[in-house]
Each structure stands twice: as C-alpha cells, then as structure tokens.
Amino acid sequence: MILRELLDWRTRAVLRRNIRVYFLNWKSAFVPPLLEPVVMFLAFGLGLGAYVGGLRYGDGQISYLHYIAPGVLTYTLFTTAFMECLYGSFVRMFYQKTFEGILGTGVERVNIIWGEIVWGAFRATLYALCVALVLLVFNLLGVTNLKLASLWVLIPAGGIFTMAFSSFALLFTATVPTIDHMNYPVFLIGIPLSLISNTYFPIDGFHPFITLAAQANPLYHMSRIFRHFMLGGRPESWMLGSLLVLIAGNVLMIGLAHRLMDARLEKES
C-alpha cells in the first residue's frame, strides 16, 4: 500500500517541487558539495594523512587518503540526506507551512512523506556525484589511484539505500517540538553514528561492543562496500550480508518514518 504510493504522480509532484526549488538556487546548490570534499581531502587526507601514514587494509597497506576517499563519499550520502530531512523538512513543515498548503490539494500525507524521503536521498546522490568529480580530478592529477568506474553503479545503488538515512532524520522531524531541539539528535545520535562507521577511521580496533553495534549501522556496510570496490576489489560473499542490512535498514526506517510523520503531519495541517 505505502510502497505503491512511491510511484504515484502525487509523490512525483512533491519531489519535483523540491528539485525545482533546488535548481532555482543552483549556485548555492552545487558549490558546497564541490568544495566540501576538497576541504575534507586537503585537511584529513593530505594534512592528517601526513601524520597517519599508511593504514593496514586487507593484506596490504594503503595511504590514509585512499582510505578516506570512499568514506567521504558515503559520509556525504549520509549527512546530506540526514541534514536535509532534519532541517529542510522541518522548515517546510513547521515554519513555511509548505505541507499544510500541499495537503489542501490532490496530494496526500503519504505522498509528502515519500517525496521528502526520496528527495533527501536524491539530493545526497547529487552531492555524491559532485564528490566523485573531485575524486576524478585527484585521480587525473595523480594524487590518488582509485577505481572510479565502479561508482557508476555504487552511487545510484547507494542513493537507494540512502533513503534509510533520510527516513531516519524524519523520525526526529516528526517528534521534535522546535528546530532548536534538533541539536540533540544531530549531536547525540547522527554524528556519532556516522563516525562509528568506517568512514573516517577504521573501527576494527575498538571495543568489541562497538564493532558489533556497527554491524547494524547501514553506513558501516555502505562504506565497506564502496571502499572494497574503489580499491579494486571484486564481489565477495560477505557483501550479501551487508546488502541484507542495507535492505533491512531501508524497510525499517522508511516504515517508521511514514508512521511518525503521518501523525505529525495531521497535527501540523
């Protein structure tokens, strides 16, 4: 029932609205995602990397820059979707009354929720493509030697599973009273989760409880898969398990987001 609404014209209308607004402000829309990874690479990859030196990866050694390049990509997917569906969605719902207006039309609550989930993931995918462009430049400059062809599949697939992250954010959007309360989920849950995920540093040496808990974090699996392919790996059987976690993450988070947001949207209408 809910799944069928994903493809409904009403959902597409909400999604198109967000895309249209995004491209209306395309300058502010594309400059940050292109600049942010550059800053990240310069600061962490080259700056910190000089101190860190090489990392053990599989049977060999890789530079820190090679380690975080896939991490920056998946981290971008996570934060972009997460922040958009926290702050962006909340502003649309609470301050701008955008959804209240839309609910007076042919569009239903379920379509607005889908529209926001998909929009968060879509925007994240666009950002990730920008990061990929930066990586391509690094490759061309000879700074890195990553297998970027895999990104043609990884980024769109990652985009689909990013719906878990936008949905995760909507759980907070659906429950916080004002935008000031957003700091709690961001700093207590969002950022820690995104760090314990193999994006910026390996967590293998951490307390076993943390490494175990990370197994339930979709971002952890996404990063692992991205890294594996971007460093030239071939498909392996452990990926099936990761894929299962990603699918479960999507189902669980999307389901919960629909449930909580539906109640909130009725209140905010």
Partner 1 sequence: MTPETGAPTRCIGRTGYTLEVHELVKCFNGKCVVDHFSFSARPGQILSLLGPNGAGKSTTVKILYGALRPDGGRIHYGSKDFATDRRQLKLCIGVCSQNDTLDYDLTVRGNLTVYGSYYHRKRREADARAENLLSRFHLRDYVSAKPRILSGGLKRRLQIARALINEPDILFLDEPTTGLDPHARRELWNLLDELKSEGITILLTTHYMEEAEVLSDTVIILDQGRVMDRGEPAGLIARHFAPWALQMKESAAVAEWISAKGLTSLRAYGQVTVFGEEEGIDSLTTEFPKESIFRRPSNLEDVFIKLTGRSL
Site for partner 1 in 210-269 (CB under 8 A): 266, 269
13 binds partner 1 (CB under 8 A): yes
Residue 20 binds partner 1, judged by CB under 8 A: yes
Helix spans in the chain (H)? 2-5, 9-24, 26-40, 49-52, 64-83, 89-90, 98-102, 109-141, 151-161, 163-173, 183-184, 191-195, 208-214, 218-230, 238-268
Does 27 participate in binding partner 1 (rule CB under 8 A)? no
Cβ neighbours of 212 (radius 10 Å):
10
The one segment of 105-113, 185-193, 223-231, 237-245 that binds partner 1 by CB under 8 A: 105-113
Contact between 105 and partner 1 per CB under 8 A: yes
State the minimum distance, in angstroms, from the CB of residue 49 to partner 1. Answer: 40
Q: Which of 42, 43, 56, 97 binds partner 1 (CB under 8 A)?
A: 97
3-state SS class at 56: strand
| 89 counts as binding partner 1 under rule CB under 8 A | no
User: Burial, 7: exposed, middle or buried (Cβ in 10 Å; 0-12, 13-18, 19+)?
Assistant: exposed
Kindly state whether residue 202 participates in binding partner 1, applying the rule CB under 8 A: no
Q: Judged by CB under 8 A, does residue 87 bind partner 1?
A: no
For residues 74 and 154, the answer to whether their CB atoms sit within 8 Å is no
- Asked if residue 147 binds partner 1 (CB under 8 A), the reply is no
For residues 67 and 57, what is the distance between their CA atoms, to the nearest angstrom? Answer: 8
Site for partner 1, rule CB under 8 A: 4, 8-10, 13-14, 16-17, 20-21, 24, 96-98, 100-108, 266, 269
